[in-house]
Amino acid sequence: MKLNARKLSIAAILITLAAGSWWLSRFATAPVAVFDARQRHDPDYIAENFQNIVMTPEGRPRYELRGKRLTHYGDDGSSIIDQPYVIQYAPGQAPTHARAKEGYLPRGNGYIRLTGNVNVAHGRDPRGAGAEIQTQQLTLELDKSKR
């Protein structure tokens, strides 16, 4: 078998095409996007006109959380609450009532951040005359055991 210029040029072209095809398939393709729900901050559920009561180990109410709308986000476990209303109970004391325009509840529910026309009222009891606070932002500790 004789090698001539024609056969060598055809072989060179085929080798160049094979190398180019390999390079394109290896480096020029876009990476495949893998769906990961944690990348998105979309609500996974919404509750309207909800009420949640958290109890102590002894079976007494610790606090009550109500609101017009709760939007929960699965990626970070947080919730946004429209018009939250929190009632905190303590033994031997009058309950504390807190209302706001909006609330932010992070994963773990150890506290709630109230924003927008926040009003906190503590009723009169044997330990004190009661009080009322009005502010634009307030962080309220809900569960002291989650520190």
DSSP annotation string for 57-94:
TTSSEEEEEEEEEEEEETTT--EEEES-EEEE--TTSP
pLDDT in tens, 131-141: 899 999 999 99
Q: Are residues 45 and 93 in the same domain?
A: yes
Tell me: pLDDT of 35 over 70. Answer: no
Whether residue 35 lies inside any domain: the answer is no
Answer yes or no: is 18 within a domain. Answer: yes
Answer whether residue 36 is part of any domain: no
Domain residues for the domain of 58 are 41-146
20 within domain boundaries: yes
Q: Are residues 74 and 137 in the same domain?
A: yes
DSSP conformational letter for 100: -
Buried b (16+ CB within 10 A) or exposed e, 97-125: bbbbebbebeeebebbbbbeebebebeee
Q: What is the pLDDT of residue 43?
A: 86
Q: Are residues 10 and 45 in the same domain?
A: no
Comparing CA positions, the residue from 33, 37, 34 lying closest to residue 76 is 37
User: Within this chain, do residues 57 and 100 fall inside the same structural domain, yes or no?
Assistant: yes
Please choose, from the candidates 80, 87, 3, 8, the residue with its C-alpha nearest in 3D space to the C-alpha of residue 41: 80
What pLDDT score does 40 carry? 72
64 and 124 housed in the same domain: yes
Residue 92 belongs to a domain: yes
Instruction: Tell me the residue type at 47.
Output: A
> How confident is the model over 54-75, as pLDDT tens digits?
998 888 999 999 999 999 998 8
Kindly state whether residue 118 falls inside one of the protein's structural domains.
Answer: yes
Residue 6 falls inside a structural domain: yes
Please indicate, yes or no, if residue 13 is contained in any of the structural domains.
yes
**105 and 112 in contact (C-beta within 8 Å)?**
yes
Same domain for 70 and 11? no
Statement to judge: residues 128 and 90 lie in one domain: yes
Domain with residue 131: its CATH number is: 2.60.450.10
Residue 144's pLDDT band (cuts 50, 70, 90): low
pLDDT, one tens digit per residue, over 76-126 is 889 999 999 999 998 888 899 999 999 999 988 789 999 999 999 988 877
**pLDDT at position 147:** 43
Say if residues 89 and 63 touch (Cβ distance below 8 Å). yes
16 with 52, same domain? no
Q: According to the model, what pLDDT value does residue 107 have?
A: 87
d(CA 135, CA 122): 15
